[in-house]
Amino acid sequence: MKILAVIPARYNSQRFPGKPLVKIGDRPMLQWVYEAAISCPSFSQVVVATDNADIAECVWSFGGVVEMTRTDHATGTDRVAEVAERYPEMTAIANVQGDQPFVTPQMLTQLVKPYLRGESPDMTTLACPLAEKDYGDPNAVKVLCDRRDRALYFSRAPIPYYRNHKPAPVFHHLGLYAFRRDFLAKYTKLAPTPLEDCEGLEQLRVLEHGYRITVCHTQTSTTEINTPEDLLQVQVLLAKKAIPVQTDAIKAKILEAE
């Protein structure tokens, strides 16, 4: 089983231009993500996918691997799919978001666990328990699951409606994805869908076209950096020493991958 991890990195973010290059502590955010991915024993190869020369230079500076892509991709998944075509030996492809600097190797292994078990779902994603305070927050995406941990629906709305106040299989969705390689190629050709456009959630396209997403579980959420305000909050965590530092073992893995 060979699994490729691709970190799509775009410079021209509408809410936060240059986001992958912002410093968290002593290193760029993108480096935090790369270090987590390369420390995950489930991945055979880790690459950053970008169309920006400054981002490429940054990755090369810390010993990472870069794949340059086209500039016209509408989504990060499209960028991941372009790179995946260059690695035909890979069975599954993980899309590791470049704005989640605190993702852990354990989370990434949980994301691809079905493939490691020899299963072949169209697609997997990650979710964690939903905190009560996040139930009504549109920035906390909710996912409802069936009895086989397959996604029924993703929403920014507070779902389900607790008419009878009984437990329900609703979780906090984390924006990490993995794909069976042939399905990833198929996914990029699927037309956008009404619910996807309504909620602003790309993964709904998969469900609306009749495909399945297996929801894998982890115990904690991970902070995303989407705005300069998010970065300030992260810097507070760093000042409180609530963020792990790079280890010599991670540095060695980066050197081995060069």
Predicted confidence at residue 251, as pLDDT, reads: 46
| Sequence-separated (6 or more) residues with CB below 8 Å from residue 195 | 201, 204, 207, 208
Q: What is the mean pLDDT of the chain?
A: 91
The two beta strands, 123-129 and 213-217, are parallel
**Domain ranges across the chain:** 3-250
Q: Where do runs of H (alpha helix) occur along 88-244?
A: 105-111, 113-116, 181-187, 194-199, 204-208, 228-239
State the pLDDT at residue 256: 54
Nearest partner of 212 among 124, 81, 119, 116, judged by Cα: 124
- How far is it, in rounded angstroms, from Cα 24 to Cα 191? 37
pLDDT higher than 50, residue 248: no
Segment 62-119, tens digit of pLDDT: 999 999 999 999 899 999 999 999 999 999 999 999 999 999 999 999 999 999 999 9
pLDDT (mean) for 235-246 = 65
Report residue 2's pLDDT band, with 50, 70 and 90 as the boundaries.
very high
Nearest residue to 102 via CA among 152, 48, 176: 176
Q: Which CATH architecture has domain 3-250?
A: Alpha-Beta Complex (3.90)
Please give the model's pTM, rounded to 2 decimal places. 0.90
Q: Percent of the chain scored above 90 by pLDDT?
A: 77
**Over residues 236-244, mean pLDDT:** 66
